[in-house]
Structure 1
Amino acid sequence: MEAAMNLPRGPENLCFDKDEFMKADFDVDHFVSDCRKRVQLEELREDLELYYKLLKTAMVELINKDYADFVNLSTNLVGMDKALNQLSVPLGQLREEVMSLKSCVSEGIQAVDDRMTKQEDIRRKKMCVLRLIHVIQSVEKIEKILHSQGTKELSSLEGNSPLITGQVLERIATEFNQLQFHAVQSKGTPLLDKVRPRIAGITAMLQQSLEGLLLEGLQTSNVDIIRHCLRTYATIDKTRDAEALVGQVLVKPYVDEVMVEQYVQSHPNGLQAMYNRLLEFVPHHCRLLREVTGGAISSEKADIVPGYDFLVNSVWPEIVRGLEEKLPSLFNPGNPDVFHEKYTASMDFVRKFERQCGSQASVKRLRAHPSYHSFNNKWNLPVYFQIRFREIAGALEEALTDTLEEAPAHRLWKLSLQILARYSVFISEVPDILDMIKPKLEMIGFKNISCIAGALEDSKTSLSACVPTLNNRIIQDLSESSFAYLKSALEVPRLYRRTNKEVPTKASPYVDSALKPFFRLQNDYRDILKQPMIHQWLEGALSESTQKYYETVSDVLSSVKKMEESLKRLKQARRTATSNPVGTNGGMSDDNKIRLQLALDVEYFGEQVIFEVHFVTVM
């Protein structure tokens, strides 16, 4: 389509692009206004007429090129209707054959789909039957092992070591694991519901046997029994049950025996002694468990049973439970001194307990445990802070209000200045505050240093944001103090008009007074403020006050000029010499004296400003 719509090329010196006419959003007004920016309307009209002639010529050439085809079009179409009618019958027959074939193919596809659906259903039912067969076989196999073990229990336990019982339980656990897998896959089938009571019996029997075997291994300190038992728990995915059993049977009695609130409160170091006894539990009573599970350094990796952390999941939860139930007064913040002592001892106990963990990963699991967070949340630190805050604030207010009736004011004032000077020296000598805080945060385990740095940076930004406002206020105050004297230029006409004063030879006193705030800033605060800051303040204040002074002097000179012109007009009207603006002494006129005085003032003010700026720059 684009090739058929190509326009003929025109001369290169046309003031417009021919492709603009073919754009979909072509607009005549926009086209003309765009061309007027480059050429005059006459030249645009000439270019359009030239291109119009080219278009007419191209159109004639196009018609002449295909003229023969246009003329013979009706001749070439003779007999076309008859030929089309002859094709309609074969095409109709072909259509019927195609539709018939399509119907046959669709029926074949549907039959194949139905067959595949039936086969898929049969396959699913077959898999379900196979799973149920595996379930029945596993149940019968486990029951057979338990039955044979029951008949030979006495001879097996007396004539052989408990290791055999552990091996049998491992076999049962492996088979039970497969049983659980197939039972989950066959969930909802009627046959499984019938077998479920037998599975529940096997589960109870296995759980009871494992608990008895683990207790026996712990009581007899038999590492092999403990290892086989824990490996069996891991096989059936019941590691948390083993950890809970150790917590209930081994840890809880010891914790209940050690944690006696009466003993802790009656002895001076009762809390510390209790914590020391709790720390002794791990090396004395958990040694075998840590060796088997890899929690001890001396554990051999070949015989390690992974997946257990008895210190985190068995010992620590029972300790926290005992502290919360047996020693509720431990977390009472009523007496801040006692609370601080208990909190310090407790946090020291937590750090020592963390050092007993076998690895850094175990420490992370301990800190992520819910009981760890529960223990930390029990310490009501906000209440402790409020109590301490009232103590400190009350003592401070009492010290501030309890003053001497006849205080030596001059000595106390000197002391205040010395304190401020000492504080200034301290601030200049201390290192970066972040370098002071960072080691302390790292010591307590705080890692998000960027958060603290960001907070300090925000504070710095907030304080820095106040600097421009303070600078503007200081500059404004200096400018107003100076201009309070500079506006005395308004009084110069009153001093010389009709007063017969001598011709001025020096600047007015108000100029020196106007410069005093700037000299005072430079001399009094030279050792306190930085020179760039003084220079910034002086530059801003001098610029602002000079601008106001310029406007004031301009107003005065304009007023003097208007007065002079008014007197001249009055003189011309009266044609007398009474309105001569020249002074009585016949010398310089009053208006010229005013101008001279203002010129001297401005010149002197400029010299002093240049001197002040140069002095500050040198300093």
Structure 2
Amino acid sequence: MTLESSSRDPFELDRLAEELVSRERLDDDDAPGHDLPIYVPLAHDNPYLTSDVFDVEAFLLSRSHTSLRDLRTELRDYLASLKEELVKLINDDYEAFISLSTDLRGEGARLERLKEPLGDLKTQILESKRELHVIQDAIQEKLEKRAVLREEKALLHLLLKLSESVTRLESLLLITSPEQDDEMQQSPLDDSRPMALNLTEDDRTRGNRAKHLGRVATEYTQLLYHASKARQENCVFVDEIQWRIDRVRSTLSSDLDHLFSSTLIALTDGKADGKISEIEKAKSTADLTECLRTYDSMGLWRDAEDVLRRDVVRRFSIFPGALAAPSSPLVPHTPFRSSTTPSSVAPSSALPPRTPYTPFTSFALKTPFQMNHGLGTAANSPYAHLLDDSEDPLARLYSQILRFVERDMIRIMGIAEKVSLRSVSAGRKDKSLVAALPAEKSNGEAADDGFEIMANVVWEEFGRAIMDELGHVVFAAGRPNEFRKHYETTQAFIRSLEFLAPSAHSVEAMRAHPIFSAFERRWQLPVYFQMRWKEIVGKVEEALSAPRVDLASATDKHSFASTQAAAVWVAISACWSAEVFIPELSHRFWRLTLQLLSRYKTWLSNSLIPDDKAAQVPAEKVTATSTPRSATPVEVPSAENAAAEDSTLRQYATTILDVRSMHMNLLTLWEQEISVMLPEAALEERVNTEETLQQSLAALTATTVSMSSHIVAILTKRCCDALLPVRSISSQFRAMANKQMPKEPSYFVSSILKPVKVFFGIGVGQGPGVSLKEHFLESYATDIFEAVAQRYVYHLTGMKKTEDSLRRLKKGKKSTFSLFGGGAAKDEDGKDEERIRMQMILDVEAFGKDGQSLGLSVDRSESFQSLTEMVHAVDLPDST
């Protein structure tokens, strides 16, 4: 801006005007406008007209700014435009159509001329197609004939292999051929078959018998495979030689059984002197392994188990008088540690006295463990110490069975387990072979593959023998003590036997065996529990038949003061003791525990718990302004009432102590034993079980509330009775000859709270509630002190009102009496009032100190504060 312009417009009005105009223009642009509705004429692109379904309401709403008359006019105009466009389109297309028909004139003849050569071409193509089909059918027929010939040739080769395999097997097993059978029938000189085991040299030596039979079993497996393939083709030849295949199978099975039996006898019995060399032992073990491998490859697991059962296990016989017969030592083939070795089993005295021995956990199914197949396994079993009782004939019998299994069976089971695992991993089991075996070989067992010697041989024989021969002794539930001992010993035997199993699968198979299920059902555990229930509950009911608490004698070794609580605790402890508890009955014993607690609570409710009215504190809860009831007669306690109250105090104190002991002991029993002995369950179920116990204990503890109230009521009454001399202080001071200012509290103050001290045994030796002192002294003393302070206020208020009445009777004299007033009195009555007031102050202070000696905080007592204010008041207000 130049100097000249600035001089003409010193205030820059032009610039300000321009800015104002621009600002108003901007404001007008930003201001919201009121646009009028835009008229949109009807067109082909209108969305309401082009939709698939015409919506009248939506169309009318979109034209809401148009009146119906204008809308009708608009629609008619749009209809006229549509008609005009339609006529235009027809005219344009008609001209094109007319021109097309003119252009195609004469094209029909040309098309007919083009169709003539197409018929000849079609005829030639069809002729060629027929010739190709004929050639194709001829080739296919020749191929089918060649396929049939090929299959027949393969079948003939298969039948030849089948015949050769049968002949070769008969030769290997020294079975006479059909031709030899015919010759022998014509000249029957010797109809006996030479044993395949009586082999001559090379492959016929004793050391190669097992390998020879193994090769024969392999050949037999191939024979069965070929026979199954030929049987699928419905060959009659297979049916004709089936008898020879069956003869081969039976012969091979018989020879294998014979070899297996002789090997078992050589390995388990040894020589006549009981000794066997290591070389012979190794050879026998190798033959045993080869025999088991042959059994496994043929699927004859049950046959091998039958041989074991017949030649080994049944030699250990269990007869009805086995428990009464003298025990004979079972000499092992090789040295092994005895189950009585001190290093293997802890002495019985080292066992916890309260923790029951529970050898019934299913450890083999839930936790993996390492099986030891060496010697001394039974001695290492954690359950062996239960079978060391030399005085128990059943334990001795079980120990002999375990030593027998350990000596003669554990090596065989280990080898069989290894053979089965190897065959499974190699996939060498042929299901068709197993299916080809006769039905009678299964012996009713489950069709599981592999050896199950522990389940089908060891347990089946010994379990059935125990049930059949010793069942009347072992399973006799009529004698609960012997039954419990037999059950524990038998379960220890079963777990020790499981410890000898070669694998966890063997343990599972043993527990799934029908004999095991039948064996477990023979235990009449409900009958045993019923007898224990009668025994336990009978003693408790006998103790609870008394209507009052019976103090336990000093010779009883338990923490309960009454015989009733001791009987309930003994019953609960017996449920979980080693002499009574059985894990399979844990839920029933748990229910009985809760029932015993409920029965004890019911007895307390019916016999000891006082009525609510009797438990009320007899002291009147009055304040300094309440009206005294001087006309109410005071009940003088008699000797009988005092004795009855003393008995009640002892009863209730003993019961409260026993309930607390029951609560603590049961919680300890739950943590240390019950929670461990109950079966494993989900966390939520275990929490619910513990909550149930807590609820039962809470209900039992709740019964002591009324007892505590009644104890407080009796002690409060006695303390208030000791407070009665406070009413005669005024008359005593007025009648005294030597009227001096008091310096000590009254004689009765020290005896006000004495009933509390006597009850808790404070400074007076033993009291009925000395055991409750630690937990109940503060609460009891607080309630009693508060009630006594209220009664103290009541007596002082009554004294003041009595003096006021006497003062009003003195006519013509100015009332200058103030029991606790501080006014200067010059006459003798004023001096008496001052001495009475000082005596009251000393008594109240001594009463407070006595309460503090009980551990109370008297400053927090509202009644005591009111009492202190009353005796220190300058002038007590008139309440009339």
CA distance in 1, matches of 2:662, 2:44: 79
Superposed CA deviations along residues 194-246 of structure 1, whole A, max 9, x for unmatched, are 21222222222211111111111112222222122222222322233212321
One of 42, 53, 64 as aligned partner of 1:40: 64
Match of 2:250 in 1: 204
Determine if contact 1:246/1:314 at 8 Å carries over to the other structure: yes
Match of 1:179 in 2: 223
Q: What secondary structure does 1:357 align onto?
A: coil
The one-letter code of the counterpart of 1:341 is: K
CA distance in 2, matches of 1:314, 1:418: 60
CA distance in 2, matches of 1:455, 1:110: 81
Normalised TM-score (structure 1): 0.56
CA distance in 2, matches of 1:141, 1:422: 87
One of 286, 292, 309 as aligned partner of 1:230: 292
**Greater shift after overlay, 68-77 or 385-394?**
385-394
The one-letter code of the counterpart of 2:211 is: Q
Match of 1:353 in 2: 497
- CA 1:160 to 1:193, structure 2 compared with 1: closer, same or farther past 3 Å? closer
Superposed CA deviations along residues 453-506 of structure 1, whole A, max 9, x for unmatched, are 368679999xxxxxxxxxxxxxxxxxxxxxxxxxxxxxxxxxxxxxxxxxxxxx
Match of 2:400 in 1: 277
Identity %: 25
- CA 1:35 to 1:375, structure 2 compared with 1: closer, same or farther past 3 Å? farther
- CA 1:119 to 1:314, structure 2 compared with 1: closer, same or farther past 3 Å? farther
Determine if contact 1:261/1:326 at 8 Å carries over to the other structure: no
The one-letter code of the counterpart of 1:248 is: R
CA distance in 1, matches of 2:50, 2:656: 87
CA distance in 2, matches of 1:99, 1:457: 90
**Greater shift after overlay, 112-121 or 206-215?**
112-121
Determine if contact 2:318/2:466 at 8 Å carries over to the other structure: no
CA distance in 2, matches of 1:395, 1:38: 97
The alpha carbon displacement at 1:403 in A equals: 3.9
- CA 1:425 to 1:384, structure 2 compared with 1: closer, same or farther past 3 Å? closer
1:311 aligns with 2:454: yes
1:453 aligns with 2:684: yes
Matches within 5 A, 1:139-178: 139-147=166-174, 150=194, 156=200, 162-178=206-222
Matches within 5 A, 1:204-603: 204-221=250-267, 222-256=284-318, 260=322, 269-290=392-413, 292-293=415-416, 308-329=451-472, 330-386=474-530, 388=532, 403=547, 410=610, 411=648, 440=677, 449-450=681-682, 453=684
1:191 aligns with 2:240: no
The one-letter code of the counterpart of 1:285 is: D
CA distance in 2, matches of 1:432, 1:315: 40
Which runs of 5 or more structure 2 residues have no equivalent in the other structure? 1-38, 176-192, 268-283, 327-389, 420-427, 430-449, 550-605, 611-647, 693-778, 780-880
**Greater shift after overlay, 15-24 or 280-289?**
15-24
Q: What secondary structure does 2:200 align onto?
A: helix
CA distance in 2, matches of 1:238, 1:355: 26
The one-letter code of the counterpart of 2:302 is: R
One of 73, 78, 81 as aligned partner of 2:105: 78
Determine if contact 1:142/1:172 at 8 Å carries over to the other structure: yes
- CA 1:83 to 1:437, structure 2 compared with 1: closer, same or farther past 3 Å? farther
Determine if contact 1:243/1:314 at 8 Å carries over to the other structure: yes
The alpha carbon displacement at 1:136 in A equals: 0.9
Determine if contact 1:259/1:323 at 8 Å carries over to the other structure: no
Determine if contact 1:162/1:225 at 8 Å carries over to the other structure: no
- CA 1:191 to 1:425, structure 2 compared with 1: closer, same or farther past 3 Å? same
Determine if contact 1:169/1:232 at 8 Å carries over to the other structure: yes
Q: What secondary structure does 1:136 align onto?
A: helix
Q: What secondary structure does 1:208 align onto?
A: helix
CA distance in 2, matches of 1:346, 1:360: 20
Identify the structure with the greater helix proportion. 1
Determine if contact 2:313/2:458 at 8 Å carries over to the other structure: yes
Normalised TM-score (structure 2): 0.41
- CA 1:204 to 1:294, structure 2 compared with 1: closer, same or farther past 3 Å? closer
- CA 1:155 to 1:21, structure 2 compared with 1: closer, same or farther past 3 Å? same
Match of 1:138 in 2: 165
CA distance in 2, matches of 1:15, 1:424: 95
Match of 1:564 in 2: none
Superposed CA deviations along residues 325-358 of structure 1, whole A, max 9, x for unmatched, are 2233334544444433322222211211111123
CA distance in 1, matches of 2:60, 2:242: 95
CA distance in 1, matches of 2:226, 2:56: 85
Determine if contact 2:463/2:515 at 8 Å carries over to the other structure: yes
CA distance in 2, matches of 1:436, 1:73: 109
The one-letter code of the counterpart of 1:323 is: I
Determine if contact 1:258/1:277 at 8 Å carries over to the other structure: no
- CA 1:431 to 1:141, structure 2 compared with 1: closer, same or farther past 3 Å? same
The one-letter code of the counterpart of 1:122 is: L
RMSD (Å) for aligned C-alpha atoms: 5.1
CA distance in 1, matches of 2:246, 2:499: 42
CA distance in 2, matches of 1:394, 1:12: 105
1:128 aligns with 2:155: yes
Determine if contact 1:255/1:278 at 8 Å carries over to the other structure: no
What count of residue pairs does the alignment treat as equivalent?
433
CA distance in 2, matches of 1:437, 1:46: 93
Superposed CA deviations along residues 573-602 of structure 1, whole A, max 9, x for unmatched, are xxxxxxxxxxxxxxxxxxxxxxxxxxxxxx
Superposed CA deviations along residues 145-204 of structure 1, whole A, max 9, x for unmatched, are 233994997673899851122222122122111111111222242212221222222222
Relative contact order, CA 8 A, sep 6+: which one is greater?
Answer: 2
Determine if contact 2:198/2:204 at 8 Å carries over to the other structure: no
CA distance in 2, matches of 1:94, 1:334: 108
The one-letter code of the counterpart of 1:182 is: H
The alpha carbon displacement at 1:273 in A equals: 1.7
CA distance in 1, matches of 2:43, 2:662: 80
Determine if contact 1:183/1:192 at 8 Å carries over to the other structure: yes
- CA 1:15 to 1:115, structure 2 compared with 1: closer, same or farther past 3 Å? same
CA distance in 2, matches of 1:123, 1:204: 35
The alpha carbon displacement at 1:379 in A equals: 3.0
CA distance in 2, matches of 1:327, 1:22: 100
- CA 1:394 to 1:132, structure 2 compared with 1: closer, same or farther past 3 Å? farther
The one-letter code of the counterpart of 2:264 is: L
CA distance in 2, matches of 1:416, 1:167: 83
CA distance in 2, matches of 1:247, 1:365: 17
Determine if contact 1:255/1:318 at 8 Å carries over to the other structure: no
The alpha carbon displacement at 1:75 in A equals: 2.2
Determine if contact 1:293/1:308 at 8 Å carries over to the other structure: yes
CA distance in 2, matches of 1:319, 1:169: 32
Determine if contact 2:166/2:245 at 8 Å carries over to the other structure: yes
Which runs of 5 or more structure 1 residues have no equivalent in the other structure? 1-10, 297-304, 462-526, 528-619
Determine if contact 1:132/1:186 at 8 Å carries over to the other structure: yes
